Chains A and B, each alone.
Chain A
Amino acid sequence: GAGVSQSPSNKVTEKGKDVELRCDPISGHTALYWYRQSLGQGLEFLIYFQGNSAPDKSGLPSDRFSAERTGGSVSTLTIQRTQQEDSAVYLCASSLWGNLDSPLHFGNGTRLTVT
């Protein structure tokens, strides 16, 4: 079946512009996660959704970052007034239940470059 789909795969934007990154999870997966992967760094947790609600937004680096999920499916991560330090690969993952031993299924990521 279809895996997690992210778009765009690459995005180059100018400093100060807003960007929207999209994630289409595996159908039926209730939990959705956004992570950020910078060069030489591990995966930095950003936000988690269970259904349409976000019980944990603790990883969002600043108030320029926001995310929503609609219909228990597609999620959008928005970065306003982008800065060069926002350049990274943004990864989306989904899991069936979001419980202790549910593995994550990852998309291929969106590589964001802020010039």
Chain B
Amino acid sequence: GDSVTQMEGPVTLSEEAFLTINCTYTATGYPSLFWYVQYPGEGLQLLLKATKADDKGSNKGFEATYRKETTSFHLEKGSVQVSDSAVYFCALSDRKGGSYIPTFGRGTSLIVHP
């Protein structure tokens, strides 16, 4: 079945450091890929998405590129801020029968120090 693997956290960085959170997936079909973010005390919210190979999703300075050849969707940001401290979830949406059920990774906690 489908699965998403994320790097273990927590990831601890200083402000303005470069961020990479690795995400790889397995899927039977041709999925869409997503990153969601959960800030402390809040629900998950969409950060960015990509729907086909070589697409780059971007939002709030974060980027991720859909790499079909390596089945990866790594999240990057050039200069993190304290306010980026949150849990980040990689997810895919794939067809199962007639339904599209998103599959999530375990989440990666990011802690940014001033």
B-contacting residues of A (Cβ < 8 Å)?
A: 3-4, 33, 35, 40-43, 45, 48, 50, 55-56, 91, 93, 98-109
Contact = CB atoms under 8 A, between A and B. Distances in A.
Interface of B: 4, 31-32, 34, 36, 42-46, 49, 51, 89, 93-107
Contacts of B49: 101, 103
Main secondary structure of the interface of B (DSSP, over half): strand
A104 B47 CA distance: 11
B97 A103 contact: no
Given A42-B89, A101-B32, A101-B51, A106 B98 contact: no
Contacts of A105: 45-46
A33 B102 contact: yes
Among all A-B residue pairs, the 4 with the closest Cβ atoms: A42-B106, A43-B104, A106-B43, A103-B46
B43 A109 contact: yes
A106 B103 contact: no
B98 to A, nearest CB: 6
5 contacts: A42-B104, A45-B103, A91-B44, A104-B46, A109-B43
Given A100-B94, A100-B100, 4 more contacts: A42-B4, A42-B89, A91-B43, A100-B51
A76 B19 CA distance: 39
Contacts of B93: 100-102
A42 B42 contact: no
Nearest to B93: A100
A25 B100 CA distance: 18
A4 B100 contact: no
A43 B89 contact: yes
A91 B43 CA distance: 9
Contacts of B94: 100
